Each structure stands twice: as C-alpha cells, then as structure tokens.
Amino acid sequence: MMERMSTDDAATKLDAADPLAAFAERFHPMHDDVIYLDGNSLGRPPLDVQAAVDNLTHREWPHDLIRGWDRWINLPGDVGDLLARTVLGARPGETLVADSTSVNLYKLAAAALAAAPAERRVLVTDDDNFPTDRYILQGIAEAAGGRLRLIHTDIDAGVTVDAVADAVGPDTALVCLSHVAYRSGALADMAAVTDIVQRAGALMLWDLCHSVGVVDVDLTGCNVDLAVGCSYKYLNAGPGAPAFLYVRSDLQERLRQPIWGWFSQTDQFAMDAEYRPQAGIGRFAVGTPPVMGLVAVEAAVRLIGEAGIDAIRDKSRLMVHHATRLAERHLVPLGFELASPLDPQRRGGHLTLRHERAWQISQAMRDAAVIPDYREPQRIRLGFAPLYNSYADIETAVDRMVDIVARGRHLDYPAEATGVT
C-alpha cells in the first residue's frame, strides 16, 4: 500500500501560520472545488478587478462618455507609476502600461538597436527564451540589418552569468532575457547579468512576465536599462489585459521607438504635420489606451500592494520548497524528475516536473479537479499563486498525481498534445 500524505500535517501548520491566507477570499470563488495551479499563465479574477471593470462599464463610460477621457488619458502613466512602486522597484515616470508584451518588446528592442553605434549590430538572447521574444528579436535583426546571437541554455537550469559574459562584446547592441524562465522557473541573476551587459557597452532588456507580482524586482537597484512584462499572470488583471514597459529615465531622451503613433506626439491634439516625440516615458506610447484593461490592472496591482510583494515572495518560496519536498518523496519514485533549479535562490514561483507521459497525466489531473499547465517537452508546471493558493492545495494536488500515476489512470488519455497548451 502506498504511503498517503494525509498523515503529513505540515500543510495544515503552514496554512495556519500563513499571513496571506485571508487574501483567497478576495478572489472570485472557484467552481466545484477545483484546485487551480496555473496562475503563472492566467491569474484568477480578484473581486476588486471585477468591481473596477463593472464600475467602468456601468457608471464611468455611460455617464461620462467622451468627457471621461480627461481622466482616462492619464491612466497609462499613473498605473505605470503604481506598478513601479508596488512591484518593480522603479521610480515615477519610468513605466507605462500599454499594448502587449510582444509589442512593447518590439518597440524597446528596435529603439535600442536604432540608438546603438554602427559597429554594434548584434542582439543577444538565449535559445530557451520565450518564443515571442526570440521571434521579435529575429524580425528586428532582419529588418534593421542586425544579427541575432543565441546563448545555449540548459532548459531546466536556466541562463548563467558566465554564458552571458561569453556572448557579449564590442559588437553587441542589446541583450534580452527572461528574468524567470517560463518553462523551468529558473530565476536569472538580474544584478550580475545587467552589470556584465553594461560593462560590454550594451543595453539590457529584461522580460518580467514570469516574475512580476511573485518575485521581488528591483529595477533601480540593479540599474536596469529596459524591461517589459504582462499583467495577466501573477498580477491577475485578466485575459489579454495590457502589458507594461519600463525605460530608465536617463535613457528616455536617447531612444526613439519605431511606431510613431499620435499618443507619443508632443502636444498630441495640435494635430501637427511633423512628428516630435514627447519627452519622458510618454514617447513610448502608440495609440488610444485600453481603458477597460487599465482599470483592471490598477485594481489588480493595488491588491498586490495590500499584501506586499515581500510577503508574497516569502510565501512563494515556501510553497515551491514544500512542493519540491513532496515531489521528491512521492513523485520521483513514480518516474517524475524535477525540472526546476534545486537552489531556492535561483527559483521563481512555479515548479516543473518532467515525466515521459506528462501530457496524459496533465489531462487526467484536470479530470481529477487539479488544473496544472503543460509545456513541451514532457513537462508539467505547477504554478503557485501566493494570494489564493494554500499549502493544502499543493498537498492535495500531489496526492491526486500519485493516485493517477500509481493506478495508471493517465493511460486512458490521448498521448498526443492538441489545442491550447
């Protein structure tokens, strides 16, 4: 007979001592007691976000109509500043909420390459970076007569400082990396990597999609040049909510983004013939801001601020640690391998497990009321959202995974991955 985890009361104790436990009630309740471990792809809806969208659609928009723009027009910069002080460690006037991560990455990377001296034509990223980052950099290099250099990264260990040092030199314009690797959850050394890139005379662009809202980020302390990230993962602002971009203040004047939209123009409503980009972070805007999404981001970031990013990071570390211990004890004997860094200092908010039947297991988990996330090749990601997941969630999820694999219940599911994974 298999050892059952119900004898282990560690989760009960951890939940009882959890200073963030009450925040779970600030979210729309889960239907049918499903355990949601995919907040690293799409966070659950906070009640405050629902209320903010409801307020816009039922009160501000119908009542104010066009007059609402007097206020709404300031949201991209104001919500950017809120994000900066709540989770990014950035100063006011350096962050804008706009567009998608992909578009913001394009704007900032193209601006960096255009501002670099003629001998610096190389863009650097790693072969394990998120696909949109690699594709966009490839497209910019091709369009602007540059070259893309790919660092080879172990997909479970993450990018190393030494590998970055080897890849940069007098030909490099920009290095773009993910702060937390989307597949393994490996956390890059932001301070050391940024320093190496800058010593080589290049700019550093961090993609914060998998760290913002769960890992404490210190853009000013690390003297980061550029950053982008989304708001729908650990920030919980909703599907397709707008992303953000960050440009350190002393760089803003030097950079010109490639999409010359009217929202980046000096004295926008003068409707001038000539394009003259604004001074400041506003020059990285493009067109009409998505107000419905912006009010959602504002409410979502306020909730994170109430909990405090340090408390969130502390719980996140403990959750990943607890899950790692349970996985080593109960899942490794069933053919799983840990596919995240073992060093707690080098991990973000999720734990990745490799199993040759990971796709089938992830489908069986959904039917057992646990929603994980599947990533090629053969990996299940367990994402822990400190604001609404409990330690008991982790224990139950592992318990059900053991049950599925020990009884071979996953073998009833199709072996080929299909649809949105």
Least CB distance from residue 398 to ligand PLP, whole Å?
A: 25
* Token pair of 50 as six digits: 């629902």
Report the residue from 27, 182, 206, 284 that binds ligand PLP according to the rule CB under 6 A: 182
Under rule CB under 6 A, residue 378 binds ligand PLP = no
Q: Answer yes or no: 381 catalytic.
A: yes
- Distance CA(218)–CA(105), nearest Å, equals 19
Of 94 and 207, CB closest to ligand PLP: 207
Whole-number minimum distance, CB 102 to ligand PLP, in Å? Answer: 3
Could you confirm whether 207 is annotated as catalytic? yes
Strands (E), 74-220: 95-97, 122-126, 147-151, 172-178, 203-207
Active site residue 233: yes
Q: How many CA atoms lie within 13 A of 155 on its CB side?
A: 14
Which residue's entry shows tokens 């030909």?
171
The secondary structure of 276-345 as a DSSP string is -BPSSGGGG--SS--HHHHHHHHHHHHHHHHH-HHHHHHHHHHHHHHHHHHIIIIIGGGT-EE-S-SSGG
Residue 130 annotated in active site: yes
Catalytic residue among 130, 244, 246, 384: 130
Of 130, 244, 374, 384, the one binding ligand PLP by CB under 6 A: 130
Catalytic residue, chosen from 48, 126, 128, 207, is 207
Q: Please identify which residue in 120, 210, 315, 354 interacts with ligand PLP, judged by CB under 6 A.
A: 210
CB nearer ligand PLP, residue 153 or residue 178? 178
Contact 395, 5 (CB under 8 A): yes
209 binds ligand PLP (CB under 6 A): yes
Note whether 296 binds ligand PLP by CB under 6 A: no
Whether 198 and 180 have beta carbons less than 8 Å apart is answered as: no
According to CB under 6 A, which one of 100, 138, 266, 378 is a site residue for ligand PLP? 100
**One of 107, 233, 283, 347 is an active-site residue; which one?**
233
Which residue lies nearer to ligand PLP by CB, 207 or 298? Answer: 207
Please report how close the Cβ of residue 340 comes to ligand PLP at its closest, in angstroms.
15
- What does the H/E/C string look like for 9-38? CHHHHHHHCCCCHHHHHHECCCHHHCEECE
The pairing of beta strand 379-383 with beta strand 350-354: antiparallel
Amino acid at residue number 420: V
Contact 399, 329 (CB under 8 A): no
Site for ligand PLP contains 286 (CB under 6 A): no
Contact region with ligand PLP (CB under 6 A), list: 63-71, 207-215, 290-298, 309-317: 207-215
| Binding residues for ligand PLP (CB under 6 A) | 100-102, 130, 132-133, 178, 182, 207, 209-210, 230, 243
Q: Enumerate the active-site residues.
A: 130, 207, 232-233, 381
